[in-house]
Amino acid sequence: MLSLRQLEMVEALARRGHFARAAKDLQISQPALSQALRAIEAELGERLFDRGQGVFRPTLFGRIVLDHGKAVLRDMAALKREIALAKSLDFGGFTVSASIFPCELWAPQALARLCQDHPKLNCRLIAGDGWRCVQDLADGTADVAVTDIEEMAEKPDLLAHPLETLRILTFTRAGHPLGRRKKVEPSHAAAYPLVGPQLPKSRSFAWFREVGFGSSAEALFTRSSEGHLQPRLCVGSFAAVLQVVQESNAIGWAPEPILAPLVAQGRVRAQDVGLPPIYSQFAAIVRRGTEPTPAARRFIKIVTGLRL
């Protein structure tokens, strides 16, 4: 079986019909090309060129090699072009799966930068629960997941590129009954529905008891079919959380950078519910041991460089 380099040598000799000119095209010495041709002919057991009056012409066997070799060289050239296009990020598609808070803070901004820098790249953003983001990554639907780092707990096949660790605050509408209390306990907050996304599996009833919710957690959360705790008002976007809070006595939660401008505008009120400070670390997550695409590498560089 001839190598790609050997096929290139036969093609150059046929095209040029001259050893010196073919060797120059191939960027090798004339003796090296002559030795290579003898090795090819020895391997095939047939002469590939007639050497008459200093001009090389393919024999019947040479023409057979050339006919088959042209298709191989053409396919290899096409493959190299495809790879070059992919490396330049001017080809193909790229998908990010992000949970609701990264969808407000990082994912759209980073994806916009990527698309602006590489307008021929087809980009897609999937928004959903954190566990679904990790599942999208695992089954190949997404190239990168952006979510709470807790979602990759006990998943050694995933690799995290950390973003920021943010304090999670609870909030209500202005005029909420809790706002009239001098001191709010978790048991008081449990009288009102929570609204938000599903929680990572690490946020269990035991975890809520440890941070001070006690038995109130059982009144606020239920368990999904996937085993995650979810508020009894479970929604998949922050816009929905905000609308429910503004139209009812529900209590929502969000990272401080999302909530701060809404509080400053008077649209909602930050509401202490008697818990110690709670923090979430977010990350851009990829599959470990799998070479990220050029688009994924560029996205990760952009998203990890964003600062709130």
Residue ranges of domains in the chain: 4-87, 93-304
Q: How far apart are CA 122 and CA 107, in angstroms?
A: 15
Tell me: pLDDT of 56 over 60.
yes
Q: What is the topology classification, in CATH, of domain 93-304?
A: D-Maltodextrin-Binding Protein; domain 2 (3.40.190)
Cα–Cα distance for residue pair 16/175, rounded to 1 Å? 87
d(CA 56, CA 203): 77
State the Cα–Cα distance between residues 246 and 209, nearest whole angstrom. 28
Q: List the single range of 110-114, 154-158, 257-261 with lowest mean pLDDT.
A: 154-158
Q: Binning pLDDT at 50, 70 and 90, where does residue 82 land?
A: low
pLDDT category at 68 given cuts 50, 70, 90 is: confident
**Measured CA distances, 156 to 29, 98, 132, 152, 266 (Å):** 52, 20, 17, 8, 44
In this predicted model, which residue has the larger pLDDT, 297 or 25? 297
Where is pLDDT greater, at 232 or 258?
258
Q: 254 pairs with which residues across the strands?
A: 169
- Looking up tokens 């609701």 gives 100
Assess contact for 90 and 120: CB atoms under 8 A.
yes
More confident residue, 169 or 78: 169
Angstrom distance (rounded) from CA 238 to CA 252:
9
Sequence-distant (≥ 6) Cβ neighbours of residue 66 within 8 angstroms = 10, 11, 14, 58
Q: Do residues 87 and 294 make contact, with C-beta atoms less than 8 angstroms apart? A: yes
| Closest listed residue to residue 295, CA positions, set 159, 161, 157, 144 | 144
Instruction: Give tens-digit pLDDT for 181-222.
Output: 988 888 888 889 999 998 887 777 777 777 666 676 777 788
> Chain centroid to CA 44: how far?
48
Which structure tokens are listed for 66?
Answer: 């050339």
The end-to-end CA distance of the chain, in Å, is 58
Which of 93 and 167 is assigned the larger pLDDT? 167
pLDDT for 85 beyond 60: no
Helices (H), the chain: 4-16, 19-26, 30-44, 60-87, 100-105, 107-117, 130-138, 186-189, 205-210, 216-220, 238-247, 256-264, 294-305
Topology, domain 4-87: Arc Repressor Mutant, subunit A (1.10.10)
Strand 251-255 with 158-172, pairing: antiparallel
Kindly give, in sequence order, each residue whose CB lies less than 8 Å from that of residue 260, ignoring residues fewer than 6 positions away. Answer: none
121-125, 134-138, 187-191, range with the lowest pLDDT: 187-191
- Residue 251: per-residue pLDDT: 94
d(CA 294, CA 19): 41
Token duo for residue 41 = 């002919």
User: Are 178 and 273 spatial neighbours (Cβ–Cβ below 8 Å)?
Assistant: yes
